[in-house]
Amino acid sequence: MENHIRKMSGKKYLSRLAENPTVIIPTGACEVYGPQLPMGTDLLVVQKIAEILAEKTGALIAPTVEAGESSALEAFSCTFPMPRMILEEYLEFLVRKLIQDGAKNFIFLTGHAGNVDTVSYIIKKHLKDGIKAFQIDWWRFTQANCKEIFDFKGAMAHGHASECGTSVILYLYPELVDHDEITCVEAKPNAYPDVLQYEHFTEKTPNGSIGDARTATSEKGKAIVEACVERILSYYKNAF
């Protein structure tokens, strides 16, 4: 069954929304993602997770944007740092339009940390309209639900394009991984984790990767996806 709104006729879209007023909104980014992974990793992953969830719930998948708020990685020329105001205006337009068409329940799959605050703002803004919504901050979600899967902890497993991210892409999009470029970049120690700190991403990594991607496997990626999908479905069925 087709679940992408953009692939439906208007008649079919409105009919499906009347049957199940739940819409999944994935957002990601287009940015440097280590030398081995596609720049669209954040969006590609949550789009695939959206398709899996839609098959299991009957929810629709909203049209989304290809870039995100990636100012933190702007020092890399291959990053597309969408201004936050554009993301906010797009999500505001999208949610308002979906509400007008009859949507009542929203699942935000956020594949990029830079988008999380904007998504939260949009959700809180529209609670007054009677909607229900929750957000999955994907890469933080994997940390909370897949601890036993990884060889490493902290940034060595969950840093940018490291064990977790590379494993997930190896499972979902194996053809997009450049195996010859898989590396290990040690995370710099942080003596003040309680302080919000700001620096160019190029000061943290020479190639956009932080952590050990050499330990990534497709099998780990499969386990990560399955564990996280199960957890999301548990919340959707039992608490949403």
Please give the Cα distance from 42 to 62 (Å, whole number): 16
The full set of domains in the chain, from first to last, is: 5-238 (3.40.50.10310)
Do 202 and 76 touch, CB atoms closer than 8 A? yes
Q: Residues 190-213: pLDDT tens digits?
A: 899 899 999 999 999 999 999 999
Q: Residues 18-58: pLDDT tens digits?
A: 999 999 999 999 999 999 999 999 999 999 999 999 999 99
The residue that leads in pLDDT, 190 or 92, is 92
pLDDT of amino acid 1:
87
Q: Residues 114-138: pLDDT tens digits?
A: 999 999 999 999 999 999 999 999 9
- CA 218 to chain centroid: 18
Asked if the model's pLDDT at residue 63 lies above 90, the reply is: yes
216 token code pair:
């990534």
Residue 151 region, left (φ>0) first, then alpha (ψ -120 to 50), else beta?
Answer: alpha
pLDDT of amino acid 81:
96
**Distances from the Cα of 237 to the Cα of 30, 57, 72, angstroms:** 32, 9, 36
| Neighbour tally for 21: CB within 10 Å | 19
Asked if the model's pLDDT at residue 73 lies above 90, the reply is: yes
